[in-house]
Amino acid sequence: MEEVHVNVYIHAPVERVFEAVADHESFLRAGDGTHTKVIRPGLTERNGLGALREVRVGKRIRYVEEIAAFERPSSFEYRILESTQPLRHHGSRLRFTPRGDGTEVDWTSRFEVPVPLVGRLLGPLARRMFVAAFTELLLAEKARLEASQPARAA
């Protein structure tokens, strides 16, 4: 089993950070062609509990993910239901913790690569790729949110 753990501090209030990251279609986009579409809205809000999202990375990689827990503004969890990659997903969680004037975002994900013989080699490679992707997404959101923060008095 592989575990991904990424932690980024964003100098913005927890409510703003949660709202930005929980906006699946806006947050899950990147220069590598990553884009996301909500294919079923959540039970009480579009991006909330029960929402299904389709994440595409380039032309070949596709995930269908379900929001399995949603507690505004402290956390949400998702699980991958379908993937074009050989992946057994054991769940992911994003936690949002107020720290001073900002928010600490903690993203964890657990998975296995169930491929006989080479799965043990592919798992660590997939972990490094997920760490890089999650970090890139969070740092991009950090830049957007911090650029739009009102200036602080000196």
pLDDT digits over 86-106, tens only? 999 999 999 999 999 999 999
For residues 67-71, average pLDDT: 98
Q: pTM score, two decimals?
A: 0.91
Side-chain-side CA neighbours of 57 within 13 Å: the count stands at 13
Q: How far apart are CA 42 and CA 31, in angstroms?
A: 27
Confidence tier at 10 by pLDDT (50, 70, 90)? very high
pLDDT digits (tens, 9 = 90+) for 115-139: 887 878 888 989 999 999 999 999 9
Instruction: Give the C-alpha distances (Å, rounded to integers) separating 151 from 19, 74, 105.
Output: 21, 25, 22
Q: How many beta carbons lie within 10 A of that of residue 20, not counting itself?
A: 17
Instruction: Give the model's confidence band at 154: pLDDT under 50 very low, under 70 low, under 90 confident, else very high.
Output: very low
pLDDT tens-place string over residues 104-117? 999 999 999 998 87
